[in-house]
Structure 1
Amino acid sequence: MTRVAVYSTALVAFVAATAMTFASIFIPNWLSYEIDSPTGKFTKTLGLHRSCSSVGDGSCQHFPQYDDCHGTDRYFCSMWKSVGFMMSSAAVFELVTLVAFCVLITGGKQKRETGWKVLSFMLMLVGILQCAAMAIVSYLFDTDDRFFVGWKLSEGWILCTVSWCICVVTAIFISASAFIFAPEDGYELIPSERYVD
């Protein structure tokens, strides 16, 4: 039977996973390229929504650009935007899951005894969305011609990977605890008594 300690421990891990999800969405560094040249070190990074380069003033711009989404690059653009959509959806579901954690922890024994199913489902849903996003970026990295020698999967991709792993492990932990641990102490039902006159 799931207990407050189980939910509290899972909540701490899940908060860390949520922070990693939001960081991976906002940092422009899912893929990076770095090379030393005679004029200095050149770096370029691609995030879900921005691309940054060390050329010029080192500023970032929106990504993918208009040119990335027309002609032969339409497939790449569609896939990259799908990754952004999946990560944003995962972030929304994570916020809903945080609310579910709070409701179950403060809601009493009965809610904790039955609510683990919904919570585990939400955690698995978040994990599946993030795993799919990670896999698409890995596929594009391996197959798209724009990623040649020198490109590598970087911090945003790593944060996403760790985040979905935490979500899946947390879902398994909560589900297993529902069957492994003894019922919560707190109150016992009073057996009904029959009075004979």
Structure 2
Amino acid sequence: MAGFSLVPGGRGANYTGMLTRSIVFSIALFVFLAGTGLTIAAIIIPNWISYTTTTFPVYEECEGKGRYFCSMWRSVGFLMSLAVVLEGMTIAAFAILLAGGKQRREAGWGVLAILTVVAAFVQASGLALIAYLYENDDRFFAGWFLDKSWSMSTASAVFEFLCAAAITAAALVLPSEGGYELIPDAHIGII
């Protein structure tokens, strides 16, 4: 069987081919930014569940027995806002890794992947809560439908999960990038 090496010439430790971690991380950043844009647009538009002429929840529905629904709906708002904060942290992590050089990308990809998954999971939790209310609350009868904000947030969460998978795959499959390598130092223990 013929050998396969991503390192040109099959020798050395530096990979200078077409697909590097920097390229994968940059593409993932643009996809993640698209997802973040969808999340923010979904919050600004607030059309999560719609009916022809009804807006909700109105204040009167949040008293007595309706408090359960309003508490759940506020939890959705909190989760979506938390998702935006986590997305902002993830964008900062992308910037740090892309600007930080080879060693930072090789050491920091795990934190980036975890932040991406956590942001997607928090957003998916809010979406699951909306879907639960839509399916189980008596106020939603025939004619109600999950609207634009729910669809945009679903796409955003999927984008973010795909970004995490791409980051992890790039870190585990692609060989080390070309560039400067640390000089071994027996005194400090750096290899």
Q: Give TM class, smaller chain.
A: 0.7 to 0.9
Partner of 2:100: 107
Which of 178, 182, 188 is equivalent to 1:185?
178
Pair 1:168-2:161 in alignment: yes
Whichever structure has more strand as a proportion of its residues is 1
Q: Deviations over 1:124-182 (max 9, x none)?
A: 11111111111111111011111111000010000111101111111011011111001
Pair 1:87-2:105 in alignment: no
Partner of 1:21: 39
Which of 109, 118, 128 is equivalent to 2:121?
128
Deviation at 1:64, TM superposition (A): 3.5
Partner of 1:4: 22
Pair 1:33-2:51 in alignment: yes
Unaligned runs of 5+ in 1: 35-42, 45-50, 52-62, 193-197
SS at match of 2:50: strand
- CA separation of 1:66 and 1:181: change in aligned 2, threshold 3 A: same
Taking structure 1 as the reference length, the TM-score comes to 0.80
SS at match of 2:51: strand
Distance 2:182 2:112 in 1: 27
- CA-atom RMSD in angstroms: 1.7
- CA separation of 1:99 and 1:190: change in aligned 2, threshold 3 A: closer
Distance 2:95 2:184 in 1: 32
Deviation at 1:28, TM superposition (A): 2.4
Distance 2:164 2:49 in 1: 29
Distance 2:102 2:142 in 1: 56
Partner of 2:147: 154
SS at match of 1:156: helix
Distance 1:119 1:68 in 2: 41
Deviation at 1:190, TM superposition (A): 5.5
Partner of 2:11: none
SS at match of 1:104: helix
Task: Tell me which amino acid in the other structure corresponds to 1:130.
Answer: Q
Deviation at 1:90, TM superposition (A): 0.4
SS at match of 2:121: helix
Taking structure 2 as the reference length, the TM-score comes to 0.82
Pair 1:66-2:59 in alignment: yes
Whichever structure has more helix as a proportion of its residues is 2
SS at match of 2:79: helix
Divergent runs of 4+, >6 A: none
Distance 2:184 2:59 in 1: 72
Sequence identity of aligned pairs in percent? 48
Deviation at 1:109, TM superposition (A): 0.8
Deviation at 1:32, TM superposition (A): 1.2
